[in-house]
């Protein structure tokens, strides 16, 4: 562990290596037939490592969750309050016109609005927001992994997001909101800037949180007379469950409070309050910065990854198969080793594992097609039902409410009970179950929409306006939307939370942010695909919209299981790989000639 001073965060390279150590102890075989470098100390064994029999028979439990993790989770809560507190306003801001005589968009007795561009535009902008916010993590991850590190990239993200919130406040100010073109221009600039800040933040906050977990290897302990396995995978599973709990507490409080501010005081104040709360985040981060375990950035990371891939690709048999063993330094004589091959064998295995995880993520856009209905179409659907004084965009908070309730139950009851009876509810099983929960949510939404059309005074055009007055709502209480929102919440816990866990646990040690960003990028792909469904996001086609997406989610879940169920049996193998020493400035297999070249 690197020594700390009074001014800098603790920077740790795994297994006790200081980032200033540019050489790992090696054994060099200069024999005639081979020139291989191998680590002096193997990572394949460690004290209290479970045997194969113990892996099959002993109960597995979580390790302790350090205090520093909770501080980072609170920072995420603040960020999610600010993001969702603003994002929940987008649909009404774009969809509905400015109420007569209003200069704030507030409408205590009606629906608040500003631009009056209609439901298609509102859904399109919602999907664009989803796309761009989950595209920018790729850049934020590269900056963190290769340049600035996660801690400082988070501060950069906070600065960008603060500017974005200020622009949104300006777009909704009384002097601007009455000028539709000016308000729309400022709104789009603020939205896009916030997407950049959010992307940089999202790519790095969960890896920063998870790397505070000091349990990085399975070990056997005895508790209350029972021999058990402390499993880092279970610790990470709990960690990301509670991380998601904090996400939804933040989004819940932000969304509920801001829609009432929007309705009774106007958009400018509803955009301003999240801005103020967001400024708490950097204060909390800085107050704990000396206690955080941080992974240093590794320069030339992507270029080395690409070179390694093509090096192995050229030496592999068959077009689709890559023999990763050929890219390991120990398999290449020193005299034949490329100058860029300064990593160790363990990094090759970690990269292979990370790419495997990225293949798993390729199915997530199908899942997010269903999830994205919650932020657009289901909000508009609520506006065609009997609200009884409840703002239409507050109903979607049934989703985070259900998550906040279910996370403790799943963590303390469901998952421990399954482990106790010997059922391994592995990541692949959990994610598959999430696909089917999303399918049921869309079926419930389709049935709901059918009865709205059937009972609405305007029939299959329930979003119609007559002489500028919205159609009367269907005689169905808006709280009937509970079912789809709760099902989507359960689907999120099973699929989305597990994907975070999978991204962190399978990523190379020096590419945690990048693999997490690839996972997040699947939401952007889903939003882009969702644009193709925008023509279905209006009357009289909304029943077809939900039905088609339900079918896609169902087929996607079946395909996901058949493609990846074999990974269930390999979960322990991938989680117990030797850890790389290629971190920060450390170049494990750097030779004297390579140093001169560099």
pLDDT, tens digit, for every residue of 1-45? 444 444 445 444 444 444 333 333 333 333 333 333 333 334 566
Structure tokens at 89: 């306003």
Return the bridge partners of 37, or none: 28
Report the DSSP pairing between strands 37-39 and 26-28.
antiparallel
> Residues 6 or more apart from 213 whose CB is under 8 A from it?
63, 65, 66, 69, 232, 235, 236, 239
Q: b/e for 34-63, b at 16 or more Cβ within 10 A?
A: ebbbebeeebeeeeeebeeeebeebeebbb
Q: Exposed/middle/buried for 416, CB within 10 Å: 0-12, 13-18, 19+?
A: middle
The answer to whether position 67 is within a domain reads: yes
pLDDT confidence of residue 217? 80
> Residues 6 or more apart from 428 whose CB is under 8 A from it?
360, 560, 561, 564, 565, 567, 568
- Going residue by residue through the chain, which has 598 residues, state the pLDDT in tens, using 9 for 90 and above: 444 444 445 444 444 444 333 333 333 333 333 333 333 334 566 778 888 888 888 888 888 888 899 999 999 999 999 999 999 899 889 988 888 888 898 888 888 998 888 887 887 888 788 889 999 999 999 999 999 999 999 999 999 999 999 999 999 999 999 898 999 999 999 999 999 999 999 999 999 999 888 877 888 888 888 888 888 888 899 999 999 999 999 999 998 899 889 989 999 999 999 999 899 999 999 998 889 988 899 887 888 999 999 999 888 887 778 899 999 999 988 888 898 998 999 999 999 999 999 999 999 999 999 988 876 788 778 878 877 777 766 777 788 899 999 999 999 999 999 988 888 899 999 999 999 999 999 999 999 889 888 887 777 777 676 666 777 778 888 888 888 999 999 999 999 999 999 999 999 989 999 999 999 999 889 888 887 887 887 778 888 989 999 999 999 999 999 999 988 888 888 888 888 888 888 888 765 444 444 4
Number of domains, the chain: 1
Find the helix packing angle between 67-87 and 267-278, rounded to 10°: 160
The answer to whether position 22 is within a domain reads: no
DSSP three-state, residue 46: coil
User: Residues 568-586: pLDDT tens digits?
Assistant: 888 888 888 888 888 888 8
Nearest to 369 by CA among 125, 84, 541, 131: 131
Rounded to an integer, what distance in angstroms lies between the CA atom of residue 567 and that of residue 577?
15
Residue span of the structural domain in which 166 resides = 52-297+364-575
The answer to whether position 149 is within a domain reads: yes
Rounded to an integer, what distance in angstroms lies between the CA atom of residue 133 and that of residue 125?
12
Structure tokens at 256: 């509920």
Distances (CA, A) of 363 to 207, 244, 351, 367, 574: 22, 21, 20, 7, 20
* CATH code, 261: 1.20.1250.20
The answer to whether position 239 is within a domain reads: yes
With contact defined as beta carbons under 8 Å apart, do 150 and 144 qualify? Answer: yes
The answer to whether position 347 is within a domain reads: no
With contact defined as beta carbons under 8 Å apart, do 412 and 162 qualify? Answer: no
CA gyration radius, the chain: 26
With contact defined as beta carbons under 8 Å apart, do 278 and 420 qualify? Answer: no
3-state helix, strand, coil in the chain (%, to 5): 65, 5, 30
The answer to whether position 586 is within a domain reads: no
pLDDT confidence of residue 586? 82
Q: b/e for 103-113, b at 16 or more Cβ within 10 A?
A: ebbbbeeebbb
DSSP characters for 520-584? HHHHHHHHHHHGGGGGGSSTT-HHHHHHHHHHHHHHHHHHHHHHHGGGGGGHHHHHTPPPP---T
Q: Exposed/middle/buried for 336, CB within 10 Å: 0-12, 13-18, 19+?
A: exposed
**Residue 479 CB coordination number (10 Å):** 14
Report the DSSP pairing between strands 474-477 and 385-386.
parallel
The answer to whether position 517 is within a domain reads: yes
> Residues 6 or more apart from 471 whose CB is under 8 A from it?
384, 456, 457, 458, 461, 462, 463, 464, 465
Rounded to an integer, what distance in angstroms lies between the CA atom of residue 90 and that of residue 96?
10
The answer to whether position 339 is within a domain reads: no
**Residue 263 CB coordination number (10 Å):** 24
Report the DSSP pairing between strands 293-294 and 37-39.
unpaired
């Amino acid at each position: 562990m690197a020594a700390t001073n009074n001014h800098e965060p603790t920077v740790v390279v795994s297994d006790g290596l200081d980032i200033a150590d540019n050489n790992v102890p090696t054994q060099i075989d200069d024999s005639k037939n081979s020139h291989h470098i191998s680590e002096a100390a193997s990572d394949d064994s460690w004290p209290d490592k479970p045997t194969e029999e113990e892996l099959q028979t002993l109960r597995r439990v979580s390790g302790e969750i350090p205090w520093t993790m909770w501080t980072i989770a609170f920072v995420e809560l603040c960020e999610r309050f600010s993001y969702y507190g603003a994002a929940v306003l987008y649909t009404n801001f774009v969809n509905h016109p400015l109420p007569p005589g209003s200069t704030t968009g507030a409408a205590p007795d009606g629906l608040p609005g500003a631009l009056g561009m209609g439901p298609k535009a509102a859904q399109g902008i919602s999907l664009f927001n989803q796309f761009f916010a989950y595209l920018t993590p790729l850049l934020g991850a590269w900056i963190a992994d290769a340049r600035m590190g996660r801690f400082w990239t988070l501060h950069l993200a906070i600065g960008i997001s603060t500017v974005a919130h200020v622009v949104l406040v300006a777009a909704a100010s009384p002097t601007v909101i009455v000028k539709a073109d000016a308000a729309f221009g400022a709104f789009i600039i603020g939205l896009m800037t916030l997407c950049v800040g959010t992307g940089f933040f999202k790519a790095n906050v969960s890896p920063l949180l998870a790397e505070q977990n000091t349990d990085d290897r399975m070990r056997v302990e005895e508790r209350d007379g029972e021999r058990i396995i402390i499993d880092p995978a279970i610790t990470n599973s709990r960690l990301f469950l509670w991380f998601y709990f904090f996400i939804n507490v933040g989004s819940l409080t932000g969304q509920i409070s801001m829609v009432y501010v929007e309705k009774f005081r106007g958009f400018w104040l509803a955009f301003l309050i999240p801005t103020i709360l967001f400024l708490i985040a950097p204060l909390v981060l800085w107050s704990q910065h000396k206690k955080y375990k941080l992974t240093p950035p590794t320069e030339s990371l992507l270029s080395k990854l690409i070179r390694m891939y093509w090096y192995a690709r050229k030496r592999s048999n068959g077009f689709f198969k890559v023999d990763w063993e050929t890219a390991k330094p120990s398999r290449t004589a020193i005299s034949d080793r490329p100058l860029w091959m300064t990593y160790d064998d363990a990094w090759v295995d970690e990269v292979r594992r990370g790419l495997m995880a990225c293949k798993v993520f390729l199915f997530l856009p199908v899942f997010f097609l269903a999830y994205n209905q919650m932020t657009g179409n289901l909000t508009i659907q609520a506006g065609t039902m009997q609200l009884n004084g409840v703002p239409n965009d507050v109903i979607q908070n049934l989703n985070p409410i259900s998550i906040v309730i279910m996370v403790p139950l799943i963590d303390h009851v469901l998952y421990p009970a399954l482990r106790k009876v010997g059922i391994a509810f592995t990541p692949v099983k959990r994610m598959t179950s999430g696909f089917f929960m999303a399918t049921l949510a869309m079926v419930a939404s389709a049935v709901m929409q059918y009865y709205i059309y059937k009972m609405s005074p305007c029939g299959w055009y329930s979003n119609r306006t007559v002489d500028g007055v919205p159609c009367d709502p269907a005689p169905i209480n808006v709280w009937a939307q509970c079912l789809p929102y709760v099902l989507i919440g359960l689907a999120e816990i099973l699929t989305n939370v597990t994907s975070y866990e999978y991204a962190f646990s399978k990523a190379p040690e020096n590419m945690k942010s990048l693999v997490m960003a690839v996972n997040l990028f699947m939401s952007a792909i889903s939003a882009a695909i969702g644009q193709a469904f925008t023509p279905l996001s209006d009357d009289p086609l909304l029943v077809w919209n939900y039905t088609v997406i339900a079918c896609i989610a169902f087929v996607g879940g079946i395909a996901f299981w058949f493609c990846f169920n074999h990974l269930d049996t390999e979960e322990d193998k991938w989680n117990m790989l030797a850890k790389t020493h290629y971190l920060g400035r450390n170049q494990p297999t750097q030779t004297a000639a390579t140093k001169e070249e560099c």
